[in-house]
Each structure stands twice: as C-alpha cells, then as structure tokens.
C-alpha cells in the first residue's frame, strides 16, 4: 500500500499512535521501540519531496532513487511503505521530529544545524553545492563576483545555511530565500535570465543541465556534502540500526551504485543531435528493420517513417539496447507496456517495432479527434513519452494561461512547468520531467523530417493516417 497524500498519512499516524497506546496498556511494560511500533502497525511512513532525484510519477510507475531505496527498506522490514511529499521543503525535518514520519528520504544534506534536530543514517551519496549562472553573462569565479546580482535559493535548504556560513568572506553578499520554489524552477529562472544565480547540488544539476543548456556551473561553494536519511533524535536506536544495516548491505552488494546509476546515467549519456551518426545508421542499420516498420504501418496506419523516427530516438535502431531502468529493444518498451500489447520478447526487432506502434496507436486514440493534424500526432508523441495523464495536466496549465490546449506549440511551452513546484502542485498527478517530452518530440520530428527527405519518392502517402486495427497477440 502506497500513497502520496499527506492527509492519508496523518490518519495512518493517528491509527499508529492508537495502536501503540493500546499495546502499552495491554503489556504495562516498557514502551515498545520505534521499530516495534512500525512492525505492529505494519507500515513505514516516509516523507520525501517531488524531484527527479527523489520521488516522482513516471509514465507507468512511481520512480525516483529515494522511492526505490525506501521501498526496498520497507520490504526488508516486512511492512508496507506509505510515502508522501511535504508541501514545502522546510516541513520535512519537523515531520520527522514530531513523529508524523518515521524517517525522511528526501535528498537531504547532512549539516551541523540539522544535526541538532535529527539523526542521520549512513551517507549514500556525496554531492557538491554549485553556483549556477547563465552562459554569456560572464562567469563568476568568487563570491565577490556575485555582489550586485540576484541570487535566489530554496528556503530551508542547505544552500541557505551555507550562504550564512560563508558570508563572513563577503559581508555585502545578499540573496533571496524562496519558500515556494524548487531547484528545477530556479535553474530555469537562471537559464531565462529572470535571476542571475542560484545554488544547486551537483547530482540535481547533472540531471537538469542538458535541458537548460544556458545554465552552467560557475564554481563550487564550500566542501563536498553528504546525503543521508533523517531519523528521530533520541536513545531509541532500533530504527537507525536497521537503516545502517540496510545501507551496508546495499553498498557491499553493489546494488546502491546500480540503483543510483539508473537515474543518473541519463545526464551524461543522452544523445539528442548526432546528425552524422543518424546518416551512418540510416545506411547501416535501418535497412535491416525497414520492412518491420513498413509492416507496422500496414497494421496501424501510422507512417512507417514516423515510427522509425521514434525507434531511432529510443534506441538508435539497436535491437539489443537496454537502459539501467530496464526498458529494452528498438522501441525501448517497459515490461508493463510489452505485456499490454502482447510482446513476449522485447529484444525481438519485429515484435518490438510492432508493439511500439500498437502502443502509440492506443495513446493516439486518447487524444481528442477534434484536434487537427499534425498537432494531434505531436501531442500523442508527448503522451507516449511522459504518459497521457501528465500531458493532460500540461494541457490544463496551458488553458489556465489563456493559451490553446489543442495546439502543440502552446502545450510545448507549458510542459516544462510540470517540473516546477508552484505549477505541478496545482495538477492532479504532480511532478513530471516536463522538459523530457519537449525534447523527445523535437527530436522525433527532426528525425522524421530527415527520413522524409532521405526517402523522397518512396511513397506518396499522407504524413500520418488514423490507426485502423489492433495488433494481434503473438
């Protein structure tokens, strides 16, 4: 049982408290340990935050390194995980201190002020606080270079405390602490020129920097920091001992490194342009699979070149492609998607292509028919990448802004807002990597245009046709 609703967690907290009180009255013995309370209620309560390095809802699953770690720990204890997100960053530690949450798994940096409030578990990742600036505005190299600029950080974050500790070096240094902003929003504001600087942990910037190419690292601020789970202070060490044992096992087995790599491989390995590589693969790889893409067109009515463009964006037409997150094959299908469209072998090129085409037709059917082409196709591609629910959230935000939710360019402008707290907290499904479908659609369109040009004269069919039949189970 898992839930991101704080209200449900509050109810669970009250039930857990009642169960603990009943246990005390029944036994008249010493109070049960925190670990015993968790096992009695059968539930581990964890507070986190919405971000790509902690917890978010993906296309067909809940994702995030902190979520995966918390889920594994709950399984180790033999209890259910109830995870929820704090409304504001500064609320995370108070939830642990009051017992509303048993622990916080939220990408928290261990700092001296925080050690007065909570205990921390083992360090599982080292990060560096980095000053971020906009390319072309002059790279600052010291704190003095920040004077006179607009510097904004998240209120209650370790970066605000770090600035307080280093201000003795530059007493005139000033900054704004924003209680409603999150890291991605501040990076976006730097990239757009709305603010001059922000401070971001190196792991978070590694995930976002490719999508905000104008944002660059100026210099590190202070020594490297440590990320760890926050736990209640006190003499009761039962839960802390279990957390320590859990991380020791993950480290020894190498599973901790593998888990983190699932989420951080993307930052350095994602290839968006590669025009020369595309031409090379067009000659060397596509001829092997072209007949399967054309078969998929016959089955679904979707232009084979569009499907091929999707396949290139997904895997560079590599049937053996596999990502650290477990998606496989030319169309990089998840296990859930493969099962949905009846694909038993995701690395079989033909089945992967036919399955990916069938899944895309399912997504396309969800897009209202009133929407004209090619906008309907571009919206479907975005939904194929991020999930239909998140696309609907972006369309609602587009309409709220007075723009056209049926126009791809208007929706494209608002999709990245799903990664900014002040916007995604208004949506039904919360945080999403909203810049990802923007780049996905842009690249598929680019490859599609290239394929149309490189196959000119092969077919006089329209750009895209309405799907006409289901893929039979194979």
For residue range 116-136, list pLDDT tens digits in order.
999 999 999 999 999 999 999
DSSP 211: G
Under DSSP, is residue 253 helix (H, G, I), strand (E, B) or coil? helix
Tally of CB atoms within 10 A around 463: 12
* CA-derived radius of gyration, the chain: 25
Q: Which residues fall within 8 angstroms of residue 12, CB to CB, at 6 or more apart?
A: 41, 43, 45, 82
At residue 346's C-alpha, the angle toward residues 341 and 349, to 5°, is: 100
pLDDT at res. 279: 80
Which H or E run includes 280?
helix 275-284
Residues annotated catalytic, as ranges: 314
pLDDT at res. 410: 94
Confidence (pTM): 0.69
Task: List Cβ<8 Å contacts ≥24 apart for 438-442.
Answer: 438/382, 438/412, 439/211, 439/272, 440/313, 440/381, 440/382, 440/385, 440/386, 441/378, 441/381, 441/382, 441/385, 441/408, 441/412
The parts of the chain modelled with pLDDT lower than 70 are: 1-29, 59-60, 210-211, 265-276, 456-474
Which residue bears the tokens 């990802």? 436
Sign of CA dihedral 425, 429, 432, 436: negative
DSSP 73: H
Integer angstrom CA distances of residue 88 from 3, 179, 228, 246: 18, 7, 19, 28
């Amino acid at each position: 049982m898992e839930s991101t609703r704080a209200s449900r967690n509050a109810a669970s907290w009250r039930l857990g408290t009642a169960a603990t009180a009943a246990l005390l009255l029944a036994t008249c013995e010493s109070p049960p340990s925190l670990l015993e309370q968790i096992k009695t209620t059968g539930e581990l309560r964890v507070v986190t935050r919405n971000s790509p390095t902690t917890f978010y809802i993906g296309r067909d699953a809940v994702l995030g390194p902190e979520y995966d770690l918390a889920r594994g720990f709950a399984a180790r204890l033999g209890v259910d995980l109830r995870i929820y997100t704090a409304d504001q960053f500064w609320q995370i530690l108070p939830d642990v201190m009051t017992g509303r949450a048993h622990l916080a798994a939220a990408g928290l940096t261990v700092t001296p002020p925080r050690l007065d409030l909570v205990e921390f578990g083992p360090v599982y990742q080292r990060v560096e606080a980095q000053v971020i600036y906009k390319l072309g505005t002059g790279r600052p190299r010291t704190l003095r270079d920040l004077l006179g600029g607009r510097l904004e950080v998240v209120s209650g974050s370790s970066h605000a405390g770090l600035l307080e500790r280093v201000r003795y070096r530059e007493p005139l240094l000033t900054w704004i602490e924003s209680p409603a902003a999150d890291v991605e929003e501040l990076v976006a504001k730097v990239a757009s020129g709305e603010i001059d600087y922000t401070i971001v942990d190196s792991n978070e910037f590694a995930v976002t920097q490719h999508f905000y190419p104008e944002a660059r690292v100026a210099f590190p601020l202070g020594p490297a920091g440590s990320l760890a789970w926050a736990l209640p202070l006190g003499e009761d060490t039962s839960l802390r001992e279990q957390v320590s044992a859990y991380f020791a096992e993950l480290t020894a087995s190498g599973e901790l490194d593998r888990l983190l790599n699932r989420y951080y491989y993307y930052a350095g390995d994602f290839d968006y342009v590669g025009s020369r590589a595309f031409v090379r693969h067009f000659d060397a790889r596509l001829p092997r699979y072209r007949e399967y893409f054309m078969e998929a067109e016959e089955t679904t009515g979707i232009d084979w070149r569009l499907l091929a463009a999707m396949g290139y964006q997904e895997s560079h037409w590599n049937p053996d492609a596999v990502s650290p997150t477990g998606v496989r094959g030319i169309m990089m299908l998840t296990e859930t998607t493969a099962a949905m469209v009846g694909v038993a072998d995701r690395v079989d090129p033909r089945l992967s292509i036919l399955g990916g085409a069938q899944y895309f037709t399912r997504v396309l059917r969800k897009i209202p028919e009133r929407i004209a082409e090619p906008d309907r196709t571009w919206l479907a591609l975005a939904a194929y990448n991020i999930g239909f629910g998140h696309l609907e959230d972006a369309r609602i935000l587009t309409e709220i802004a007075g723009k056209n939710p049926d126009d791809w360019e208007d929706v494209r402008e608002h999709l990245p807002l799903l990664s900014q707290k002040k916007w995604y907290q208004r949506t039904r499904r919360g945080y999403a990597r909203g810049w990802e479908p923007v780049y996905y659609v842009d690249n598929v369109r680019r490859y599609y245009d290239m394929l149309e040009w490189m196959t000119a004269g092969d077919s006089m069919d329209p750009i895209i046709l309405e799907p006409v039949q289901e893929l039979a189970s194979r």
